[in-house]
Amino acid sequence: MALPPPVRLPAAVQTAAFMVAPAEFLERCRSRYGDVFEARFLGMGRFVYVCDPRLIKQVFAADRDIGLAGEARRPFMEAVLGSESLLTTDGEQWERQRKLIGPPFHGELIEGYRDQIEEIAAAEVERWPRGMAIPLRPRMQAVTLEVILRLVFGIDDAARLERLRNLLTEFTEKGHWMFWMPGFVKDLIDRTARAGGTVARLSPWTGVQQRLDEIDTLLYDEIARRRADPELEGRADILSLLIRSGEATDVELRDELMTLLMAGHETTATSLAWAFERLARHPQVVERLRAEIAAGETDEYLDAVAKETLRIRPVITDVIRALREPMQLDEWEIPTDRFVAPAIITVHRRGDIHQDRLAFRPERFLDGRRETFSGWIPFGGGRRRCVGSHMALLEMKTVIRTVVERVDLEAPDARDERARLHHVTMIPARGALLTVRPRSAPGTNGAWKTRSASHSNGAPGQSSAAPPRPVAH
C-alpha cells in the first residue's frame, strides 16, 4: 500500500490557491495527480481528497466503523454549535442526536411548511426595489433566517423575534468566521482575551463571544417558555416537536437549534442566490419553468432546477472525515493523521458522469436521466447525509417559484459570477447582483432575456460585459 500522491507546492501556496478559487484548485490537482491526492493547508493539516464516486461511496460506508465526521468538525464547529450537536458528535452520542432530530424532518411534516415559506418569500420580494441592481444573497439570507426563526425556532413574539434576528444577523456575518479559524490562531486569541486589559477589550473575539452569549440567553429562555407553554401540543415548529419528544435536555435543544441555524441558514440562502444567478443567464429555463407552473403541472422541472443548481454550484467543496484506523482505497492507504475528504465540487464536474459538465441544464434530472448517487452529492452521503436535505430542497423550490411568479430578473453583466470562499461556503462573488423588474406579461420572458440571451451554457467568461447599472446595497 502507498500513500496518496501529495500536491507538490508549499502549504502556503496550496492554502492561498484554495482560498482564492477552491473548485479550480481541486480540479487542477485531480488532473495532475489523479482521483486521490493529498493537499496541505496551513493550520488545518493534511486532507486526502477523493474524486472517484466509487471510492467516495466506500468513504461514506466507513461512517459505520472507522469514519469520524464529528471529530473532523469539532475543532472548528464546537465553539459555536456545542458538544451535543449532530455535526460534532460520533458513535452512540451521534446516534442519540440523530434519533432526536430526525423525526421532525420527516417529509410529510416538512411539506406542511410550504405555505408559510411562500408567505415569507412573497413579503420579501415586495420589498425589493425595482429597476436597480441589488445583490440577492443578502435578500435570500433574510428569507432563510425568517424561516428558521418562525418554523424551526417557533418564535412568534415580535420583540423577541426582532432581537434574535438582529443578533443572529450580526453573528453570522460579522463574527462566526472567527470560529472557523485554524486551532493555533484561535488558541492565541483565547490566551490574549483571558489576559484581560485593553487588548482583550479591543479584541474582536470578545465582541463575538458576547453576541453568542446573548444568543444563548435568548435560546435558553425560549426553551424554558416553550416547555411551560400550555399550547405546546398544538404547535408545529421543530423546537416544539423536539420538546414534545420528552427526550432532549436543554443543552441538546440549544445545540441542535444552533446547528440548524448554521447548517440551514447560510447554505440554503447561498444556494438560492446561485439559483437566481443561473436563471437570470438562462431565460429558456425560466420560460419552461413558468409555463409548467402556469399549467399547474407537477413540480418535476422545478425540482430539476433546484438540483441542477446544487450540482453546478454546490455550496461546499467537500465533506471531511477523521479516521479511527487507516483506510484503504484501492492502492492507497490513508493514515489516521490525515482527513479524508470526498470532493463534492469535483465529482459534480466530472465529464464522464455529466455530459456538457459546465452547462446549466436542469433537463439532465428529467425523464429517467436523474443523476445517481455517485454523481450528485451536495448533501454528503451515507449515514451522515444532511438531515435537513428535504427541507432545504422544499425551501429552494418554494422560494424559486415565488420569485419567478412575481418579478423578472436581469443580469447587468452577462458574464457568470465567479465563486469565492466565504467562511466554508462558496458564494457568488458579487452576491448574485441582479436587477429586479416588474413581471412581464404572461407568455414573455421580459427582462430575463435582456443582456443574457447569448450566454446560456454556464461556462464562465464567454460574453462581454453589459454597460453598468445603478447598484443598491
Q: What is the pLDDT of residue 459?
A: 42
Amino acid at 352: D
pLDDT one-digit tens code per residue, 284-331 = 999 999 999 999 878 999 999 999 999 999 999 999 999 999 999 999
- Alpha-carbon distances of 334 from 4, 25, 67, 314, rounded to whole Å: 7, 21, 12, 26
Give the integer Cα–Cα distance in Å for 127 and 117.
16
CA 20 to chain centre: 19
The pLDDT confidence band at residue 205, using thresholds 50, 70 and 90, is: low
Single pTM value for the model = 0.89
Lowest mean pLDDT among 72-81, 206-215, 275-284, 404-413: 206-215
The pLDDT confidence band at residue 447, using thresholds 50, 70 and 90, is: low
Residue 463 reports pLDDT greater than 50: no
The pLDDT confidence band at residue 338, using thresholds 50, 70 and 90, is: very high
Residue showing cell 443543552: 251
Secondary structure string (H, E, C) spanning 313-339? CCCCCECCEEECCCEEECCEEECCCCE
Biggest alpha carbon distance in the chain? 67
The pLDDT confidence band at residue 194, using thresholds 50, 70 and 90, is: low
Give the integer Cα–Cα distance in Å for 282 and 400.
14
Q: Measure CA of the first residue to CA of the last residue in the chain; give whole Å.
A: 55
H/E stretch holding 47 = strand 45-50
Q: For residue 408, give the nearest of 443, 444, 447 by alpha carbon.
A: 447
Q: What is the pLDDT of residue 264?
A: 86
- Alpha-carbon distances of 110 from 113, 262, 296, rounded to whole Å: 6, 19, 22
* Nearby residues of 13 by Cβ (< 8 Å), 6 or more positions away: none
Q: What is the pLDDT of residue 445?
A: 54
Lowest mean pLDDT among 56-65, 94-103, 464-473: 464-473
- Of residues 192 and 44, which shows the higher confidence score? 44
Q: What is the pLDDT of residue 193?
A: 63
Find out whether 458 and 360 touch, Cβ atoms under 8 Å. Answer: yes
Give the integer Cα–Cα distance in Å for 154 and 152.
6
Hey, where are the domains in the chain? Answer: 11-154+235-449
pLDDT one-digit tens code per residue, 213-253 = 999 999 999 999 999 999 999 999 999 999 999 889 999 99
Collapsed DSSP state (helix, strand, coil) of residue 412: coil
Residue showing cell 440562502: 269
Of the CA atoms within 13 Å of residue 297, those in its CB half-sphere come to: 13
Q: What is the pLDDT of residue 108?
A: 83
Class of domain 11-154+235-449: mainly alpha
Burial of 182 per CB tally in 10 Å (0-12, 13-18, 19+): middle
Q: Supply φ then ψ for residue 187, to 5 degrees.
A: -65, -40
Average pLDDT over residues 76-94: 92
For the record, the C-alpha cell of 277 comes out as 444567478
For the record, the C-alpha cell of 302 comes out as 422545478
Collapsed DSSP state (helix, strand, coil) of residue 452: coil
Residue 159 reports pLDDT greater than 80: yes
Residue 443 reports pLDDT greater than 60: no
For the record, the C-alpha cell of 433 comes out as 447582483
pLDDT one-digit tens code per residue, 377-395 = 999 999 999 999 999 999 9
Output the average pLDDT for the chain: 87
Residue 457 reports pLDDT greater than 90: no
Find out whether 416 and 460 touch, Cβ atoms under 8 Å. Answer: yes
Q: For residue 27, give the nearest of 9, 47, 51 by alpha carbon.
A: 51
Residue 454 reports pLDDT greater than 50: no
Q: What is the pLDDT of residue 59?
A: 97
- Alpha-carbon distances of 467 from 31, 288, 412, 451, 470, rounded to whole Å: 37, 28, 7, 10, 10
Give the integer Cα–Cα distance in Å for 473 and 134.
6
Find out whether 11 and 41 touch, Cβ atoms under 8 Å. Answer: yes
Lowest mean pLDDT among 114-118, 251-255, 446-450: 446-450
Give the integer Cα–Cα distance in Å for 373 and 389.
14
Lowest mean pLDDT among 51-55, 300-304, 406-410, 459-463: 459-463
Residue 255 reports pLDDT greater than 70: yes
pLDDT one-digit tens code per residue, 47-68 = 999 999 999 999 999 999 999 9
